[in-house]
Amino acid sequence: MSAVLKAGLIGLGSMGRHHARVLAGLEGVELVGVVDPMGDKNGWAQGAPVLSTVEELIALGIDYAVVACPTGLHEEVGLQLADAGVCALIEKPLADTVEGARRLVEAFESRDLVAGVGHIERCNPALLSLRSRLEAGELGDVYQVVTRRQGPFPHRIADVGVVKDLATHDIDLTGWVTGQTYTSIAAHTVSKSGRPHEDMVSAVGQLSDGTMVNHLVNWLSPLKERFTSVTGERGCFIADTLTADLTFHSNAAVTTEWEALRAFRGVSEGDMIRYAIPKREPLLVEHELFRDAVQGKPADICTLRQGLRTVEVAAAVIESATRGVTVQPAAMSTTA
């Protein structure tokens, strides 16, 4: 493998154009080709040749490819790359079905190829700081994780509903920041936009250590919100991933003399801290990590097996909503 990695991109849509921008300026990487059957009408390919097929891209001798085509094509494209011995960073979700995700895991693992899933929230500065603080035990025992991910309908999405497109962010980040897996999930969905897929979901779940989880995700709100809170023994962390801000609300250590408040033997309001966090672009951080992984350096990327577990939980959410029952997501090896 040369000192400068030859990278390719598949898909020049609303996410692919950002991948092209980052790849074109990424140190140690050369963007040698982009695949999009629709061409490059908007000049998003950063000067790289625009090809019609994945085969043409593979023929350029690429070291790795970024897969940013529609979710329904992830499996087909990923298997082509694996068969050719090409490493891949596949946009989330890994695949549109659990079976497809499993086939991708097998294809890349059996060939010992570096592959990852673009769960970009793992690179958000607020969540990186939150995770490190949880690992350091700053919150004590964790009781609950709550996420809200709301906003208007994105017209770029046509092949999946809000669970696979948006809720997979929250499923992945919840397991990642806590270091736990989902053991049960119960959900309700609605479809109000006239599309065949759901556009709102409310889910309640439990993690392997007993932590309670709540997710509210929709494409029906004019309010854009990206909210994650983790409540525990010593207080509550709140992360706003739109602004990359992290705030800590501590439990009060001051004794109150107000009898009406003392009657409740719970926690009370304490200090609030808003942390100063270095804020780098998450997509750039994601690409740097994957580049390093391809070069054989230690890098904390989201593996395909981790991406598979997220697809399994998303499938359990849809199954729960469809059948009206609590579902235990399919058990998978915890090997990442």
Is residue 304 one of the residues assigned to a domain?
A: no
pLDDT-derived band at 268 (thresholds 50, 70, 90) equals low
Q: In terms of pLDDT, which residue wins out, 153 or 20?
A: 20
Is residue 298 one of the residues assigned to a domain?
A: no
> Do residues 217 and 68 share a domain?
no
Domain endpoint, select from 92, 113, 134: 113
Is residue 192 one of the residues assigned to a domain?
A: yes
Q: What is the mean pLDDT of residues 315-320?
A: 96
Contacts of 187 (CB under 8 A, 6+ apart): 201, 202, 203, 204, 317, 318, 320, 321
CA–CA–CA angle 91, 127, 120 (5° rounding): 10
> Do residues 91 and 127 share a domain?
no
> Do residues 133 and 223 share a domain?
yes
Domain endpoint, select from 113, 148, 176: 113
> Do residues 271 and 220 share a domain?
yes
Say what the pTM is: 0.92
Is residue 84 one of the residues assigned to a domain?
A: yes
Domain endpoint, select from 113, 144, 167: 113
Domain coverage including residue 20: 5-113
Rounded distance between C-alpha atoms, residue 304 and residue 294, angstroms: 14
> Do residues 94 and 228 share a domain?
no
Is residue 288 one of the residues assigned to a domain?
A: no
Q: What is the pLDDT of residues 95-144, one digit of tens each?
A: 999 999 999 999 999 999 999 999 999 999 999 999 999 999 999 999 99
C-alpha distances out from residue 304 to 20, 54, 75, 139, 322, Å? 22, 20, 12, 30, 27
CATH of the domain at 87: 3.40.50.720
> Do residues 130 and 264 share a domain?
yes
> Do residues 93 and 152 share a domain?
no
What string of DSSP letters covers 123-134?
G-HHHHHHHHHH
Q: What is the pLDDT of residue 43?
A: 93
Dihedral (Cα; 178, 179, 181, 186), 10-degree rounding? 10
Is residue 329 one of the residues assigned to a domain?
A: no
Is residue 137 one of the residues assigned to a domain?
A: yes
CATH of the domain at 226: 3.30.360.10
Is residue 330 one of the residues assigned to a domain?
A: no
Q: What is the pLDDT of residues 195-247, one digit of tens each?
A: 788 999 999 999 999 999 999 999 999 999 999 999 999 999 999 999 999 99
Task: Using a pLDDT cut of 70, give the percent of the chain over it.
Answer: 91
> Do residues 178 and 263 share a domain?
yes
